[in-house]
Amino acid sequence: MDNFLDDIIDRAIEEDASDIYIQSESPVFLRIGGYMAAAAVPPEGYEIDEAIERILKVSGARAQLYDREEKDLSYTRQVGNGAGKRTFRFRVNLCMTKKGISIVMRRLKSVEANPLNLGVPGDLLRLVLESPTGGIIFVAGPTGSGKSTTLASLIAYLVATKCLNCVTIEDPIEYDIPEGMGNIIEREVGTTTLSFERALRAAMRQRPDVILVGEVRDPETASAAIQAAKTGHLVFTTIHTLMTTQVPSRIASMFPVEKQEWMIRELTDVLLAVMVQVLVPTAGRLVLATEFLDTKDAATRELLVRGRHDLLRQQQRSGQTGWTLNQSLRVLVDSDQVQEAEARRATNDPALFMKE
């Protein structure tokens, strides 16, 4: 029998799909331009164990899933021969489900070394280039909103244009960033380091100029990232929030109640900016919409400490400290880049949609 897994991967590459969904006793689905589409029914006699064993590169792989319930890793597919050979990498999640086993594969494309080409606002790029004394920048948003893509592009741009030492810590590594003028030390949780926290502490001995932390998931990582920013490093990371003003309280919620107020102040002391982003599907592609909050100003930081999100939102709407997601969506709708219905689904503030 032909290799069904690679057949599906080849189909996904041909269709420029971003994700592949394979599940026991189900058709295969692809996500193309943000939308799901049925791809194929596995041929009679095909066992999903064959796909698992190819991904994990061991026989009897199903037993490993029963032991750990799920796995996150990478898979590489090479297409063509000689000078025409191309390599495609995928981020893979394997897990047990009610039906049996689920395989979700996300295609990892080549990094775009100019963030502006992705729709990343120039305000953020200028802030990054003008931050010589360190600090921390958060890129926030829902799952699948392209946060990792934005950060990889920013890192690629910095390393291509400046002679820097950059440490990246991801779970798993999603992009192969070329070294350019600078140096890249790439760490992957689970393979080359045990945790974000350990890799961050080790990074302090590697003389980095820039540190990328794939995601802040726990108080230990949050504390280590803030400490790195306090010691003069430029730190990038991501978090799952829908509004820029929510980031300090979201980080503080990881800590005991008695430490939360202190943690908000610790974070805001080094917080340079927060950008929330969403991807809006339109005409077979995805368009980036953003919300931005510049927090360099001491008065803005004090409003965050005091929890005055109402005043911060007013300042964003007036353009003093950035802009809201609704304002970004309004521009996209008015310029016919996205449909109003799609923009409405993407908003984080439905009550003010198309009113800001």
Q: pLDDT exceeding 70 applies to what percent of the chain?
A: 95
Q: What is the pLDDT of residue 47?
A: 74
Express each pLDDT in 113-147 by its tens digit: 999 999 999 999 999 998 777 899 999 999 889 99
Q: In CATH, which of 3.20.20.70, 3.40.50.300, 3.20.20.20, 3.30.450.90 is domain 4-108?
A: 3.30.450.90
More confident of the two residues 71 and 219: 219
Q: What is the enclosing helix (H) or strand (E) of 55?
A: helix 48-56
Q: Is the pLDDT of residue 1 over 50?
A: no
Provide the residue type at 142 as one letter: P
pTM over 0.95: no
Q: Is the pLDDT of residue 326 over 90?
A: yes
Tell me how far apart the alpha carbons of residues 91 and 104 are, in angstroms, rounded to a whole number: 8
Q: What is the pLDDT of residue 64?
A: 64
Tell me how far apart the alpha carbons of residues 123 and 231 are, in angstroms, rounded to a whole number: 24
Average pLDDT over residues 93-104: 85
Per-domain residue ranges for the chain? 4-108, 115-352
Q: What is the pLDDT of residue 62?
A: 63
Express each pLDDT in 21-47 by its tens digit: 998 888 899 998 878 999 877 766 667
> Per CATH, the architecture of 115-352 is what?
3-Layer(aba) Sandwich (3.40)
Average pLDDT over residues 59-68: 61
Q: Mean pLDDT of all residues in the chain?
A: 89
At 61 the three-state DSSP class reads coil
Nearest to 221 by CA among 267, 175, 272, 265: 267
Tell me how far apart the alpha carbons of residues 46 and 43 are, in angstroms, rounded to a whole number: 6
